Amino acid sequence: MRHLLSINNLSAADAIGILDTATELARINDGQVKKLPTLRGRTIVNLFAEDSTRTRISFEAAAKRLSADVINFSAKGSSASKGESLKDTAQTLQAMGADAVVIRHSASGAAQRLADLEWMSGSVINAGDGTHEHPSQALLDAFTIRKHLGKGASDLKGLRIAIVGDVLHSRVARSNVLLLSMLGADVVLVAPPTLLPVGVESWPATISYDFDSVIPTVDAIMMLRVQQERMTDLFFPNSREYSRYFGLNSERMSAMAKHAIVMHPGPMNRGLEIAADVADSARSVIVEQVTNGVNVRMAILYVLLAGGPLEVGSN
Amino acid sequence: MSVALSAQDISRALTRISHEILEKNHGSSDITVLGIPTRGAHLAARIAAIMSSIEGKDIAHGTLDITLYRDDLRLRAPRAIMPTSIPPTGIQGRDVILIDDVLYSGRTIRAALDALGEVGRPRTVQLAVLVDRGHRQLPIRADFVGKNLPTSEKQSVRVSLTEIDSVDEVVIEGEAN
Amino acid sequence: MSSQRFLLRGGQILGGKAADLLIADGLIAQISASISDKDATVIDLKGSIVLPGLVDLHTHLREPGREDSETVASASRAGAKGGFTALSAMANTSPVADTAGVVEQVYRLGQEAGFVDVFPIGAVTQGLHGEQLSEIGAMADSVARVRVFSDDGNCVFDPLVMRRALEYIKKFDGVIAQHAQEPRLTVGSQMNEGIVSSKLGLKGWPAIAEEAIIARDVLLADHVQSRLHICHVTTAGGVEIIRWAKARGIQVTAEVTPHHLLLTDDLASSYDPVFKVNPPLRTSNDVMALREALADGTIDIVATDHAPHTSETKDCEWAEASFGMIGLETALSIVNKTMVESGLMDWTAVADRISTAPARIGRYSNHGQNLTVGSAAHVTVINPTKSWVVDRDLVVSKSRNTPYHGYELPGLVTHTFFGGRATMIDSKVIDKVVQ
């Protein structure tokens, strides 16, 4: 496996392997060892064409803990702005000797273009491309769910997870639907009809417009961020109506099953999709997701970069 | 293929090694036994149990995975990381006894020394192996050896332990020349 | 008019019986079982199909304004390579072809190049803005004799503007060729809206955006009794509406592109913008409906919508890329593959859809004569027994954005004659000899 562009690049065994590796790394990180020599001498470039401090820092921490060198390349905007094209950027990075590129970009498919066109020879890791996918987020979400609810199993069979909010525009939702269902969980998508894509019936998930009826039936609720711009684009009348039907407030939280957890990929709109006291409650694993993110990203970098290609004829 | 060590040979070797470790270190109070997964970890558990029955008290033991410190990662597909578990007494200032099944090039032990270095500073690091098959590529030696097995580089040494394989035995495969 | 004489020997005329065809003085002089002519260059066409010169009613020549992607001359050569003897230059150039001056310039450039007749299409509205009618009369009366008017690239979205345009062109025996795309339903749209777009995270372009405009415009055309032509139909729903309209006697004609007869939206999964086109590739259900409609005549013609783009506008992320594919050089092979080899149409029907009918809609009186003796010698020859592999580095067009790179296509266009001059022999374009 040379690239991680989409959850479709992974088999269930691959995904569980990454989660298990992350579990081991977490234990090491919790102990005294803060730095491992495994990727010493490798150069990892963070190519972030879209603003994201959180994900970029997470990948940077992961790379540095494995002793890789990190170069941050922030290319604001896309080719439409007067800046360099993605192709020219990629070829420049290649000339600088990048072993891997972690790319976040506003255009769906940008990571795949970088990988397919072979503008560069290193591994490409998709850190979020447009509204398409965000595989490392789904992996850290699965890791978090397994840790709290997995009861020692390697997969997520028998668990029921709700993903709530702007599914139409969410790369986190797309990656999670693919990964969580691949690991055996039941996924239910909760959203207003305007924020579910045409064709969602073909996804491995069920749909509901009724948040309240779903809440007591699930083991985890993953809230998605709702952007303010969605209101002017006629997806719902105003934030008041959105919160009334799809916001996770304390009243809804008290209807959750006793063991159920609250998740959010961040950044949160406190008060819109999630109430402040829910975000800060004991059920919320939102802060822990961030820590898990570093360990999962270390595991991804390890799996993609530590090994080499199989050499024919070696012992 | 020939059997170099039978189940009884292995048992006697481990008992002897356990006594030797206790003798050299004047008892068990400052010892931490760490096995290198996979089979080194099982051997470490056995040795700790033997030492414990000799001394009549618990022996601090655990596992040390060295995958992340290997110098040959790029030659193969990525390997799974095994568990590392350092006992609560830690390794600072203690006598660490590393346990592995086969000592060959010495690179695994070199990686283990690096791994230990990240965890702390032992007073001494000693090495016990079930089999020493020669052909060192680094200046590494074992303090306690179950059996010295001269082999050629074309041969391979296979260690089976009942914890994961069906038998206890050590087998040499391949032709000497 | 060429003074050369050509004796085309043994080709199947319109896919029917094999016969000899004599070209002399720029005309089809004779067609009969066995002709002898000692002054003529003999070309053996045994096993090949002889068709009337192909007529494209929808081509983007990019000149004036975007000569980096294509010029009238380079597009004309690409047309000859594909077997075309007439192209229709869409008006979305820079400046827009909304005055007599621009259309006459394009017309003259076509004449100078000398590979095909270039018939300029005039814009419906000034600047393609969809607000004020352009100088339709001036363009109709110009040397270019424009009869087809289109804002293609844009939709004439305002129903009142469309009504007035349909009414006004009646004076000039014109036809409005509508690019059916409701703009409010396609803001930022990237590909067909459906299962594939939901997975890829690319903004969807719903079929209804095309169907709604077709429905509105056939009713308008009926109300004001005028001629309407629907460009590049891509949806099964659009086909149904056109079939309904024709059954009621409404004067609507429709076109389909070769790529919409073959390609589907799952190709977008690679995110390669060579598959990004307006209107987008749709589902296999739509492809089947379009093929049936072309076979039964509900869709009257095949038109290429040849849309050249420079490589930097395709060598990027999908959302950044331009919409469009080139298509002149592969059109007849695609029609052969999808319609003839599948048994849906014979070559006589192909001649109608890709020569006679487009010439009739555009009022191109010198074309679409269907190989009648005495008509201008616009002749195309295709060898259906030969297949060829498309190589984007070897295209004649100035741009390389073909979706078929690496595909093996059945049927090789070998010869093209334009007014008796051989513009292509043995699949090699023949440039004019400079006197």
DSSP symbols for A154-167 = SS-TT-EEEEES--
Mind listing the pLDDT tens digit for each residue in C142-177? 999 999 999 999 999 999 999 999 999 999 999 999
Is residue C323 located within the same domain as residue C390? Answer: no
Kindly report the nearest CA distance between residue A171 and chain C, in angstroms. Answer: 7
Confidence (pLDDT) at A33: 74
Of the pLDDT bands very low, low, confident and very high (cuts 50, 70, 90), residue A244 is very high
Is residue C117 located within the same domain as residue C243? Answer: yes
Is residue C171 located within the same domain as residue C251? Answer: yes
Of the pLDDT bands very low, low, confident and very high (cuts 50, 70, 90), residue A315 is very low
Q: For chain C, what is the domain count?
A: 2
- Specify if C435 maps to a domain: no
What's the 3-state SS for chain C? Answer: CCCCCEEEEEEEECCCCEEEEEEECCEEEEEECCCCCCCCEEEECCCCEEEECEECCCECCCCCCCCCCCCHHHHHHHHHHHCEEEEEECCCCCCCCCCHHHHHHHHHHHHHHCCCEEEECECCEHHHCCCCECCHHHHHHCCCCCCEECCCCCCCCCHHHHHHHHHHHHHHCCEEEECCCCHHHCCCCCEECCHHHHHHCCCEECCHHHHHHHHHHHHHHHHHCCCEEECCCCCHHHHHHHHHHHHCCCCEEEEECHHHHHCEHHHHHHCCHHHCCCCCCECHHHHHHHHHHHHHCCCCEECCCECCCCHHHCCCCHHHCCCCCCCCCCHHHHHHHHHHCCCCCCHHHHHHHHHHHHHHHHCCCCCCCCCCCCCECCEEEEEEEEEEECCHHHCCCCCCCCCCCCCEEEEEEEEEEECCEEEEECCEECCCCCC
Is residue C195 located within the same domain as residue C164? Answer: yes
CA distance A115 to C272: 12
Is residue C16 located within the same domain as residue C78? Answer: no
Q: Do A109 and C317 count as a contact with CB atoms less than 8 A apart?
A: yes
Go through C395-410 and write b for each residue having 16 or more CB atoms within 10 A of its CB, e for each that does not: bbbbbbbbbbeebebb
For tokens 């601090």, the residue is B60
Residue range B126-141: average pLDDT? 96
Of the pLDDT bands very low, low, confident and very high (cuts 50, 70, 90), residue C233 is very high
AA letter at C86 = A
CA distance B163 to C115: 83
Of the pLDDT bands very low, low, confident and very high (cuts 50, 70, 90), residue A28 is confident
Is residue C66 located within the same domain as residue C44? Answer: no
Confidence (pLDDT) at A308: 67
Go through A238-250 and write b for each residue having 16 or more CB atoms within 10 A of its CB, e for each that does not: ebeebbeebbbee
Whether A91 shows a pLDDT value over 60: the answer reads yes
Residue A6: other Cβ atoms inside 10 A: 22
Is residue C162 located within the same domain as residue C58? Answer: yes
Whether A75 shows a pLDDT value over 70: the answer reads no
Question: DSSP state, A133?
Answer: B
Between the alpha carbon of residue C254 and those of residues C192, C277, C293, the distances in Å are 20, 18, 10
Closest partner residue to A108 among C272, C312, C318, by Cβ?
A: C318
CATH of residue C24's domain is 2.30.40.10
Residues of C within an 8 Å Cβ radius of A? 193-202, 204, 206, 270-272, 312, 315-320
CA distance B83 to B62: 10
Of the two residues A33 and B88, the one the predictor is more confident about is: B88
Chain A meets chain B (3+ C-beta pairs below 8 A): yes
Whether C431 shows a pLDDT value over 80: the answer reads yes
Is residue C105 located within the same domain as residue C246? Answer: yes
Whether B115 shows a pLDDT value over 60: the answer reads yes
Whether C279 shows a pLDDT value over 50: the answer reads yes
Mind listing the pLDDT tens digit for each residue in A262-309? 999 989 999 899 999 999 999 999 999 999 999 999 999 999 998 765
Residue B124: other Cβ atoms inside 10 A: 14
Confidence (pLDDT) at A79: 43
CA distance B34 to B94: 12
Question: DSSP state, A305?
Answer: I
Structure tokens at B123: 């007073």
- Same fold yes or no, A7-134+291-306 and A136-286: yes
CA distance C302 to C58: 9
CA distance B134 to B113: 19
Architecture of the domain defined by A136-286 = 3-Layer(aba) Sandwich (3.40)
- Specify if C371 maps to a domain: no
Percent of chain C with pLDDT over 90: 97
Is residue C312 located within the same domain as residue C408? Answer: no
Confidence (pLDDT) at B59: 95
Kindly report the nearest CA distance between residue B93 and chain A, in angstroms. Answer: 16
Pair C179, C155: CB distance under 8 Å? yes
Of the two residues C247 and B117, the one the predictor is more confident about is: C247
Whether A81 shows a pLDDT value over 60: the answer reads no
Of the pLDDT bands very low, low, confident and very high (cuts 50, 70, 90), residue A78 is very low
C338, C362, C386: which is the final residue of a domain?
C362
Contacts of C275 in chain A (CB under 8 A): none
Q: Which helix (H) or strand (E) holds B132?
A: strand B124-132
Whether B176 shows a pLDDT value over 50: the answer reads yes
For C155, residues 6+ apart whose C-beta sits below 8 A from its C-beta are: C130, C178, C179, C180, C181, C182, C183, C213
Pair A250, A277: CB distance under 8 Å? yes
For tokens 């001036």, the residue is C138
How much is the pTM? 0.89
Give the least confident one: B117-126, C158-167, C372-381: B117-126
Contacts of C200 in chain A (CB under 8 A): 108-109, 132
Task: Say whether C272 is catalytic.
Answer: no
Between the alpha carbon of residue C152 and those of residues A265, C133, C155, C233, C371, the distances in Å are 44, 14, 7, 13, 31
Average of per-residue pLDDT values in chain C: 97
- Specify if C367 maps to a domain: no
The residue of chain A with its CA nearest to that of C206 is A198
Mind listing the pLDDT tens digit for each residue in C90-104? 999 999 999 999 999
Confidence (pLDDT) at B53: 96
Confidence (pLDDT) at A171: 97
Pair B61, B87: CB distance under 8 Å? yes
The residue of chain A with its CA nearest to that of C313 is A79
Whether A54 shows a pLDDT value over 90: the answer reads no
Whether A77 shows a pLDDT value over 60: the answer reads no
Of the pLDDT bands very low, low, confident and very high (cuts 50, 70, 90), residue C435 is low
CA neighbours closer than 13 Å in the CB half-sphere of residue A38: 29
Whether A80 shows a pLDDT value over 80: the answer reads no
Q: Which domain holds residue C421?
A: 6-50+376-429
Helix (H/G/I), strand (E/B), else coil: A126:
strand
Whether B3 shows a pLDDT value over 50: the answer reads yes
Q: Do A32 and B118 count as a contact with CB atoms less than 8 A apart?
A: yes
Q: Do C198 and A133 count as a contact with CB atoms less than 8 A apart?
A: no
Is residue C45 located within the same domain as residue C59? Answer: no
Question: DSSP state, B120?
Answer: -
Is residue C315 located within the same domain as residue C393? Answer: no
Structural domains in chain B, CATH included, are 2-72+79-173 (3.40.50.2020)
Is residue C252 located within the same domain as residue C400? Answer: no
CATH class of A7-134+291-306: alpha beta
The active-site residue out of C98, C152, C305, C352 is C305
Confidence (pLDDT) at C389: 98
Q: Is the dihedral of CA B127, B130, B135, B137 positive or negative?
A: negative
Residue range B116-140: average pLDDT? 95
Chains that touch C (3 or more CB pairs under 8 A): A
C362, C389, C405: which is the final residue of a domain?
C362
- Specify if C147 maps to a domain: yes
CA neighbours closer than 13 Å in the CB half-sphere of residue A290: 11
Kindly report the nearest CA distance between residue A56 and chain B, in angstroms. Answer: 23
For C245, residues 6+ apart whose C-beta sits below 8 A from its C-beta are: C218, C221, C222, C252
CA distance A92 to A85: 11
How do the domains of chain A map onto residue ranges?
Answer: 7-134+291-306, 136-286
Closest partner residue to B73 among A20, A38, A311, by Cβ?
A: A38
Whether A82 shows a pLDDT value over 70: the answer reads no
Kindly report the nearest CA distance between residue A79 and chain B, in angstroms. Answer: 36
Confidence (pLDDT) at C432: 81
- Specify if C131 maps to a domain: yes
- Specify if C416 maps to a domain: yes
CA distance A187 to A134: 17
Question: DSSP state, A7?
Answer: G
Closest partner residue to A36 among B68, B78, B83, by Cβ?
A: B68
Closest partner residue to A110 among C194, C197, C317, by Cβ?
A: C317
- What own/partner pairs with CB < 8 Å and gap ≥ 24 does A189-194 have? A189/A162, A189/A163, A189/A164, A190/A162, A190/A163, A190/A164, A190/A165, A190/A214, A190/A246, A191/A164, A191/A165, A191/A166, A191/A167, A191/A246, A192/A235, A192/A236, A192/A242, A192/A245, A192/A246, A194/A168, A194/A234, A194/A235, A194/A236
CA distance B128 to B141: 9
Q: Is the CB of B82 inside 8 Å of chain A's CB atoms?
A: yes
Percent of chain A with pLDDT over 90: 73
Residue range B44-62: average pLDDT? 96
Contacts of C314 in chain A (CB under 8 A): none
Mind listing the pLDDT tens digit for each residue in C19-68? 999 999 999 999 999 999 999 999 999 999 999 999 999 999 999 999 99
Whether C6 shows a pLDDT value over 60: the answer reads yes
- Specify if C240 maps to a domain: yes
Pair C87, C354: CB distance under 8 Å? no
CA distance B36 to B54: 23
Average of per-residue pLDDT values in chain A: 90
Chain A meets chain C (3+ C-beta pairs below 8 A): yes
